[in-house]
Amino acid sequence: MKVLLDSIGCRLNHSEMETLARQMMANGHQVVTDAAAADKVVLNTCAVTAEAARDARSRTRAFHRANPAAEIVLTGCYATIAPADVARIEGAGQVVVNAQKAQLAHLLDPQARVERPVFEQEPIMREFLAGSMGAHTRAFIKVQDGCDNKCTFCVTTIARGEGQSRHVGDVVAEIQALAAAGYQEAVLTGVHLGSYGRDLSAHTTLTTLIRAILHHTDIPRLRLSSLEPWDVPDRFFELWADSRLLPHLHLPLQSGSDAMLRRMARRTSRASFRALAGAARAAIPGLNLSTDLIVGFPGETEADFAHSLEFVRAIGFTRLHVFSYSPRPGTAAARFSDQIPGPVKKERTRRMIALGQELSLAFHQGMVGQTVDVLWETAVGADNGGLRWAGYTNNYVRVIANGPADLFNQVTPVFITTARPDGLTGQQAGQLSDLTAGFP
249 in Cβ contact with 273 (< 8 Å) = no
Asked whether 355 and 318 are in contact (CB, 8 A), the reply is no
Which residues sit opposite 242 in a β-bridge? Answer: none
> Above 50 in pLDDT, residue 439?
no
Q: Is the pLDDT of residue 428 over 60?
A: no
pLDDT digits (tens, 9 = 90+) for 261-314: 999 999 999 999 999 999 999 999 999 999 999 999 999 999 999 999 999 999
**CA dist list (Å): 162 to 98, 147, 199:** 12, 5, 10
Least confident of 186-190, 207-211, 334-338, 413-417: 413-417
Q: Is the pLDDT of residue 426 over 70?
A: no
Task: State the pairing for strand pair 221-224/371-383.
Answer: unpaired
CA distance 107 to 416: 48
375 sits in which H/E element: strand 371-383
**Residue 422 pLDDT class (50, 70, 90 cuts):** low
- H/E element holding 94? strand 92-96
pTM score above 0.75: yes
Residue 49 φ/ψ, nearest 5 degrees: -135, 165
Please spell the DSSP secondary structure of 242-264, one letter per residue. STTB-SEEE---B-S-HHHHHHT
The residues facing 92 across adjacent strands are 72
Which residue(s) pair with 403 in the sheet?
387
DSSP H stretches of helix in 49-185: 50-66, 77-81, 83-87, 104-108, 118-130, 156-160, 168-181
Cβ 3 vs Cβ 42: under 8 Å: yes
For residues 177 and 144, give the distance between their C-alpha atoms in angstroms, rounded to a whole number. 19
